[in-house]
């Protein structure tokens, strides 16, 4: 960008001199140069970034149900090429106090808006910021990490199940002292969101809004060679019933089943999550070591056949108590460009029933099954722009009495991805 700006000034200045060589006055030239300098200074406030992730995937069965690995495979296919993410982001900042951003997703399926927001910081003490628009949710750690920086090809089953999309429409207030303050290690976030993005709705259709709050602590030691951070998060949202039917799990003679109760179709059901996470990194002669983990529990309200869809029709909503966690280990090999990744996550979408208690007769579906995922990966950061990832997902579901899930389903996936970031 800097070289381009210099070239632009030179061309305009040269053209002006050639066309006005006989009658140009020094003061006129000075005004033109000053105007060009002003225009270039404004361009410096604009930042254009993006990345493209091209990949090939191999499943261990045709038509594998791999919704958490970029979507299910087409029927009759066990391998595929695709552009997993193609992002382009424009950010315009002014004096570090005002910022607006626009990010779009471009891949072989089309174009979609991912982020559109404005961020305002108070000009007096620089402690308070307001962010309004389509933006990342301040819950947990993994959901806030950009897709270009995640250590695994996809976020965990827990994160993808609870948050169908990375972004939501709303407004939040952030409180954090400037970097020069001894209190900079604490950040508070609180916001109201529509929750409508979960159902890919183009508008805010809910009467009530979802509250998300987070406390973040972050500290560095030993000249930044050791870093420690963590979050405590809370999500409280209402899901419109849109029906007089609400299903909850009840145990009769130690047999947990879904039973229906009558509710007001205009009322809301509670969607509530509690989360905690921690991240640790250390630079040593062996390279950089990263160890992180996250745990979430709470209550999800969604439809019978789609855990991630909180919008009910005539069939009514289903209340499920959830629990999940993940542990991530990353080891850079002797400060080289190579790293190994080990990631283990567990997600139980219905803690009230398990194993053969889960049956079609009791009202359960594949959306109630507990999963264990073990990911083994290798990363080669060729340079600051290019990254190669080879990752193998070993997926295990619990054995149930649900048709098609009486034993482990073959849905392991190997992903080979090349990413270019600019």
The whole-model pTM stands at 0.89
Instruction: Check pLDDT > 60 for residue 18.
Output: no
Residue pLDDT, tens place only, 307-358: 987 776 667 899 999 999 999 999 999 989 999 999 999 999 999 999 999 9
Query: Do β-strands 338-348 and 226-240 pair in parallel, antiparallel, or remain unpaired?
Result: unpaired
> Read out DSSP for 392-418?
EEEEEEPP-BSTT-SS-----EEEEEE
- Residues whose CB falls within 8 Å of the CB of residue 340, separated by 6 or more in sequence, listed in order: 330, 331, 333, 377, 378, 379
Radius of gyration of the chain (CA): 26
As to burial, measured by CB atoms within 10 angstroms (0-12 exposed, 13-18 middle, 19+ buried), residue 94 is: exposed
How high is the pLDDT of residue 12? 47
Residue pLDDT, tens place only, 122-146: 999 999 999 999 999 999 999 999 9
Q: List Cα–Cα distances, 350 to 139, 174, 278, 339, 368, in angstroms.
A: 21, 33, 25, 35, 5
Instruction: Check pLDDT > 90 for residue 389.
Output: yes
CATH class of 54-84+174-421: mainly beta
- Residues whose CB falls within 8 Å of the CB of residue 56, separated by 6 or more in sequence, listed in order: 79, 80, 81, 415, 416
Q: What are phi and psi of 256, to 5 degrees?
A: -75, 125
Residue pLDDT, tens place only, 242-282: 889 999 999 887 889 999 999 998 899 999 999 999 999 99
How high is the pLDDT of residue 1? 52
Asked if residue 109 lies in contact with residue 79, where contact means CB atoms within 8 angstroms, the answer is no
Q: What residue spans define the domains of the chain? A: 1-44, 54-84+174-421
Asked if residue 187 lies in contact with residue 174, where contact means CB atoms within 8 angstroms, the answer is yes
């Amino acid at each position: 960008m800097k070289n381009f700006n210099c070239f632009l000034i030179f061309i305009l200045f040269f053209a002006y001199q050639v066309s006005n060589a006989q009658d140009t006055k020094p003061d006129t030239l000075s005004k033109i140069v000053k105007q060009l300098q002003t225009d270039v200074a404004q361009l410096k406030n604009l930042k254009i970034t993006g990345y493209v992730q091209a990949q090939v995937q191999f499943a261990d069965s045709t038509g594998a149900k791999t919704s958490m690995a970029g979507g299910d495979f087409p029927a009759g296919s066990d391998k595929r090429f695709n552009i997993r993410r193609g992002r382009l982001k424009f950010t315009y900042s002014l004096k570090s106090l005002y910022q607006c951003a626009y990010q779009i997703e471009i891949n072989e399926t089309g174009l979609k808006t991912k982020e559109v927001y404005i961020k305002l910081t108070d000009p007096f003490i620089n402690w308070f910021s307001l962010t309004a628009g389509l933006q990342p949710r301040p819950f947990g750690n993994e959901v806030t990490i950009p897709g270009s920086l995640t250590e695994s090809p996809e976020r965990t089953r827990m994160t993808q199940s609870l948050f169908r999309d990375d972004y939501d429409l709303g407004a939040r207030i952030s409180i954090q002292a400037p970097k020069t303050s001894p209190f900079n290690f604490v950040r508070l976030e609180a916001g109201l969101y529509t929750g409508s993005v979960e159902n890919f709705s183009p508008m805010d259709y809910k009467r009530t809004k979802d509250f998300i709050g987070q406390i973040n602590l972050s500290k560095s030691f030993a000249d930044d060679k050791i870093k420690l951070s963590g979050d405590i998060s809370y999500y409280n949202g209402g899901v419109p019933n849109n029906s007089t039917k609400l299903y909850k799990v009840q145990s009769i003679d130690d047999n947990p089943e879904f039973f229906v109760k009558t509710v007001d179709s205009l009322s809301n059901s509670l969607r509530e999550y509690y989360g905690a996470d921690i991240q640790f990194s250390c630079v040593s002669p062996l390279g950089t070591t990263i160890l992180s983990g996250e745990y979430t529990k709470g209550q999800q309200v969604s439809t019978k056949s789609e855990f991630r869809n909180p919008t009910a029709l005539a069939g009514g909503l289903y209340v499920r108590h959830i629990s999940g966690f993940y542990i991530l280990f990353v080891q850079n090999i002797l400060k080289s460009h190579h790293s190994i990744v080990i990631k283990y996550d567990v997600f139980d979408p219905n803690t009230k029933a398990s194993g053969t208690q889960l049956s079609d007769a009791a009202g359960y579906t594949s959306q109630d099954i507990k999963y264990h995922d073990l990911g083994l990966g290798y990363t080669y950061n060729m340079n600051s722009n290019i990254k190669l990832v080879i990752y193998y997902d070993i997926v295990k579901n619990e054995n149930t009495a649900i048709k098609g899930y009486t034993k482990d389903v073959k849905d392991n996936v190997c992903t080979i991805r090349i990413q270019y970031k600019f």
